[in-house]
Amino acid sequence: MKTIKKVLLLIFGWVSLIIGVLGIVLPLIPTTPLLLLAAACFVRSSDRMYDWLLTNKYFGKYIRDYREHRGIPLRAKWIGVSVLWISILYSAIFVVPLMFVKILMFAVASYFTWFILNLNTIR
């Protein structure tokens, strides 16, 4: 059972990592929480993958900063909120025809804006 659990955690960690990386370019996929989830899966399944993730030049700093300070840099907040709202507004105006879906998109974007802005700011 222990081996099966480790394999499942490793698979789930990789899936979280891949979806988190996609979240860098796709607006409504939360990158940081998925990277943190991948780190949590890797720490319980593979020391090698966990160390690789924390020392990765692209993701490691964000995970370490969040773990140490429970926050993100001000630049990341501004970029995240800006990209979120630009993509939501574009989608609501030019792509989505249904008013209910537009309202739902604005509600989701508002929640994530609140969530991002309420994280500690690392200077």
Residue 2 pLDDT exceeds 90: no
CA pair distance 49, 16, nearest whole angstrom: 13
Q: For residues 108 and 50, give the distance between their C-alpha atoms in angstroms, rounded to a whole number.
A: 31
Provide mean pLDDT across the span 37-45.
92
Predicted pLDDT of residue 24? 79
57-82 residue pLDDT tens? 988 887 887 888 878 888 888 888 88
118: pLDDT strictly greater than 80: yes
Can you point out the beta strands (E) in the chain? 71-73, 120-122
Residue 106 has pLDDT above 80, yes or no: yes
Mean pLDDT over each residue of the chain, to the nearest integer: 87
